[in-house]
Structure 1
Amino acid sequence: MPRPERIFPLVLVLVIGLIGALPATASLANPDSGNGSQIFSTNCAACHMGGGNVIRASRTLSEADLQAHLDSYSQDHLEAIEHQIEAGKNAMPPYQGKLSDDDIADVAAYVEEQAERGWQR
């Protein structure tokens, strides 16, 4: 049977390696909707000003439309919005690789916050 003092360093290195391989999610856990507002104004407002949709009027950013048209919205609002931002769909371009993960989380938080407030137009 191997001695514990010989195995401990190996286990320690493996645990540290696994922790380092995990994605950094600390900033994703607390998205910044203020930053999301700025990114939304720059990248999204041309089509979604005030939570509307100039391309497809029935696909607004209202809570009801998000619920009706986003997969998994009822399970996790932010994750569903983030997925839409990352992947795009129809006329909406994908933003994965164009925006950082933090920026996408921030925009999703902003969209969710505004949808809850009714998008003050």
Structure 2
Amino acid sequence: MKLAIFATLATSAAAFSVSPQKAAQAAAVSAAIAASAAAPAFAGDVGAGEQVFNANCAACHAGGQNVIMPDKTLEKEALEQYLAGGRNEKAVMTQVTNGKNAMPAFGGRLSEEDIANVASYVIATSESGWDE
């Protein structure tokens, strides 16, 4: 919120003291700052996420696979295709928290921090490739 206020003030000040072109540039920068301040930053701990994954998810998703629905793996392409919201930490967090189809909800079993950590682990590992 503070960044958004600062960005608005910077834009206003720039509009009064510089050319219209510079004011437009300042407005664009301010909008980018405000947008990034409003977007949630997910930076879970991948190492801690691996521990959570191994303790809670690996029974069905060992090696990034899916023993119940074989097409819906944790591989990069499958996450992009099947995960509601696309392959990103927020979408993984939603799926883990709420469950879906045969997957149970872990929102009542895991803390928000654990869910953020496992989401970071899943996204990072889908990018680098799962060891099978």
Is residue 66–residue 73 contact of structure 2 (8 Å, CA) maintained in 1?
A: yes
1:72-111 aligned at under 5 Å gives the runs: 72-73=85-86, 77-111=88-122
TM-score (norm 1): 0.72
Deviations 1:24-71 (A, max 9, x none): xxxx74311111101100100000000001111101000111011112
Q: Structure 2: where are the runs of 5+ without partners?
A: 1-40
Letter in 2 for 1:104: I
TM-score (norm 2): 0.66
Is residue 84–residue 91 contact of structure 2 (8 Å, CA) maintained in 1?
A: yes
Q: Which structure has the higher relative contact order (CA within 8 Å, separation 6+)? A: 1
Separation in 2, partners of 1:30, 1:114: 14
Q: 2:74 aligns with which of 61, 64, 75?
A: 61
**Residues paired across the two proteins, number:** 92
1:16-55 aligned at under 5 Å gives the runs: 29-55=42-68
Is residue 73–residue 79 contact of structure 1 (8 Å, CA) maintained in 2?
A: no
Report runs of 4+ in structure 1 exceeding 4 Å deviation.
none
Q: Structure 1: where are the runs of 5+ without partners?
A: 1-27
Deviations 1:72-96 (A, max 9, x none): 115xx00001001001111110011
Root-mean-square deviation (CA, aligned residues, Å) is: 1.2
Is residue 78–residue 105 contact of structure 1 (8 Å, CA) maintained in 2?
A: yes
Q: Which residue of 2 aligns with 1:118?
A: 129
Query: What SS is found at the alignment partner of 2:93?
Result: helix
